[in-house]
Structure 1
Amino acid sequence: MAGEAGTTTRYAAIRDAALRLFARDGYAATTMADIGAAVGIRGPSLYKHVVSKQDLLAQIMLDTMAALRESHQAAVRGNTDPAVRLRRAVEAHVRYHARHRLEAFVGNREIRSLDEPHREAVLASRADYEQRFRTLVRNGVRAGRFDVTSVRLASYAILDLGMGVAAWYREDGELSEDEIVWHYGDLALRIVGATSTDG
């Protein structure tokens, strides 16, 4: 048990180091030796914990999408009002991107660096997440609560709102995370033609 915990902790440290290096230097310019040096592991010993640099990149992206789907599911659970569900989903989406800026940056920039079958798996996970927002908007339209000319474009616009936060948000900025999350919830409801709700 202790050995397993140590291995898990070491992998987490390697993953975090890879994430920082991918964000700072780019995937192509980062070597396994760079990652090993960042966590104090030399050469071949690193491969006891990870399969490859490609596997690290794919796992970072898949973990990110899994976390986003989980937070989305938790956000919409327990409420049937379309506006409340959309607001809560957007708030979770924005909050994640404010707190995980490196994951968002690497996920957007390095999708081109993924090889198959990793690329297909990540794209499928992204498509699933996008579909969840599209479903929220579509259900709101069907219920007569939202008014949009294109469900697809509205959902893309809402997703882009949250992803953009990762590019500029700073903890010491003018607005707090909670304020930004609340304002973006309002913006999303305006995009779909709904009135604000206190959900």
Structure 2
Amino acid sequence: MKVERQHRPGGVPGALPGDRAAAIRVAALRLFATQGYRATTMADIGAAVGIRGPSIYKHVSGKQVLLAEIMLGTMDALIAAHAEATASAVSVGDQLRRAVEAHVRYHARHQLEAFVGNREIASLDQPDRDRVLRRRSTYERGFRKLIERGVSEGAFDVRSARLASYSILDMGMGVANWFHDGGEFSVDQLAYQYGDLALRVVGCQA
């Protein structure tokens, strides 16, 4: 996949000694995305940031903690972006458009997080797996409520708000698999066009 081609494991450029924990998370993210969580060892992560042997455990207790931080952080960022986007508009059509634009921007700019989040949910231990799944449900529900509101106001025409929300979310998530800078569209152009597509999915009457 393009994500694997663009993001190769290796040292973390620009990391300062005081940024060890952040550098370790970045290295873990890259390795989880390129070679998978199961195939990645703590020694691999340590080598990527120049830490040899068990010294890495001074900074992080294990790779399961790193995976949970990455996946929970991804969902928290998406939920926060959704809240900010919908607060910036009044009409339900504009709110849905801006929520979709935020969704697409995140997946275009955070391809590794999206890739790991989609592939490694089964690798999470409990209770972190359920914590991530609850956040995913919260995020999807935010889109579904907008669609249900649009239907009730006569702004949208769709049979199933749930299916429409799943379709819109899946459509935006796919951006992480193929988008690259310097392509046909900028992130903002892409986000706007996906907003148009989402409004068509819900049969926007405005």
Q: TM-score, normalised by structure 2?
A: 0.89
Q: What's the CA shift for 1:189? A: 0.2
Matched to 2:37, the amino acid is Y
Out of 122, 132, 137, the residue aligned to residue 147 of structure 2 is 137
Is 2:101 the counterpart of 1:98? no
Q: What's the CA shift for 1:52? A: 1.0
Q: What's the CA shift for 1:10? A: 1.3
User: Which residue number in structure 1 is paired with residue 60 of structure 2?
Assistant: 50
Q: What's the CA shift for 1:177? A: 1.2
CA distance in structure 2 between the partners assigned to 1:104 and 1:191 by the alignment = 23
The number of residue pairs the alignment matches comes to: 191
- Counterparts of residues 67-86 of structure 1 (less than 5 Å): 67-86=77-96
Instruction: Compute the RMSD of aligned alpha carbons.
Output: 1.3
Q: Any unmatched runs of 5+ in structure 1?
A: none
Is 2:199 the counterpart of 1:189? yes
Out of 174, 190, 202, the residue aligned to residue 164 of structure 1 is 174
Q: Any unmatched runs of 5+ in structure 2?
A: 1-15
CA distance in structure 2 between the partners assigned to 1:95 and 1:107 by the alignment = 16
CA distance in structure 1 between the partners assigned to 2:53 and 2:205 by the alignment = 57
**SS at 2:174's partner residue?**
helix
Out of 92, 111, 125, the residue aligned to residue 121 of structure 2 is 111
User: Which residue number in structure 2 is paired with residue 62 of structure 1?
Assistant: 72
CA distance in structure 1 between the partners assigned to 2:193 and 2:100 by the alignment = 10
CA distance in structure 2 between the partners assigned to 1:64 and 1:56 by the alignment = 12
CA distance in structure 2 between the partners assigned to 1:37 and 1:84 by the alignment = 47
Range with bigger deviation, 98-107 or 47-56: 47-56
User: Which residue number in structure 1 is paired with residue 8 of structure 2?
Assistant: none
Sequence identity percentage: 63
Deviating beyond 3 angstroms after TM superposition, the runs of 4 or more aligned structure 1 residues are none
CA distance in structure 1 between the partners assigned to 2:88 and 2:43 by the alignment = 47
CA distance in structure 2 between the partners assigned to 1:50 and 1:35 by the alignment = 11
Asked if 1 retains the 8 angstrom alpha-carbon contact of 2:157 and 2:203, the reply is: yes
Structure 1 142/6 Cα, relative in aligned 2: closer, same or farther at 3 Å?
A: farther
User: Which residue number in structure 2 is paired with residue 124 of structure 1?
Assistant: 134
Q: Deviations over 1:138-195 (max 9, x none)?
A: 1111111001000000000010111000001011211111111111000000000015
Q: What's the CA shift for 1:133? A: 0.7
User: Which residue number in structure 1 is paired with residue 28 of structure 2?
Assistant: 18
CA distance in structure 1 between the partners assigned to 2:59 and 2:48 by the alignment = 14
Q: TM-score, normalised by structure 1?
A: 0.92
Structure 1 195/10 Cα, relative in aligned 2: closer, same or farther at 3 Å?
A: farther
CA distance in structure 2 between the partners assigned to 1:65 and 1:113 by the alignment = 16
